[in-house]
Structure 1
Amino acid sequence: MAAALGTSDRMLIHYFGSKDVLIERVLELARPNVEALVADHGGDIRSLAHAIWHELSQGGPQQPRVRVLLEVMTLALTRSDQYGEFARTSVSRWIEPLSEALRRGGQNEDDASARATAIVSGLRGIAVDRFITGERARTDRSAHLLIDSVLGTR
């Protein structure tokens, strides 16, 4: 990273105070912008769920950020002290907006939270499957089935 920025590792550590703080800042900048995604879909819960799938699986401009997010969340399983807080915050940043949309749509708080968790966590797992296997058709079908199962078919 230092070379790409035209400086040295030592100067980066000096500027940020520690390697851990540097990593935290980089990860924070790399976090996908979920708030913009939610704003683009207003109160349409199904549309938002499909947009979440699109961001996780195909991405567009945020795709590199999504891959970093998925990698760091996986690292948090074995390196909780270093990546756990980032992973926990990332989980809530993806689940909370969908949960709030479900509450506005009439779900009680517990059901909204459970449904949002099922959608976001399920889609995240299916996205990892897609990146590992490259099987787009199967993972797309799985994602749509998950969304329909949690939200009900149209």
Structure 2
Amino acid sequence: MKSKTAKLRRAQLDQQFMTAHGISSVKTPKTGWVREVRTALGMSMSDLAARLGVIKQRIEGLEKNEVAGTVTIESLRKAAEAMNCDFVYHFVPKQGLQKTLESQASKVAEEIVRSSEHSMSLELQSTSKSAQKALVEEIALELLRNEDRRIWSLKK
């Protein structure tokens, strides 16, 4: 049951991510979103500070930390709210989650076959490339079917 639930959830997330791909193509401004939106609204640092109930120096720090990548999600959420914006935070997979899982299973299967093929070649029992490819596909499917933890044993 767990595997069906995980597979269904992957499919649901993949569907959501498909709609988010347009969002992921939006590049973060060099000055950061807080400063970009604040200045586009004609809002000074002092204005934003007053709306957040902090001093101007906190806004300077917020903008600097955003560009440096050290800002907190909560700080961005509050700043967005103070500028009448929604704060959106999410991951967008480079390929779908199911595709990522299948790709990783194939990599692990290739490693398993490569390792056993090396041992077999030392014993002069190596197999053809087509047989190796078929074995990789079979092992990958088995890894996926069993939700084998080894799928994530390789770093990349």
**Which of the five TM-score ranges fits, normalised by the shorter chain?**
under 0.3
Larger Rg: 2
State TM-score, norm by structure 2: 0.25
State TM-score, norm by structure 1: 0.25
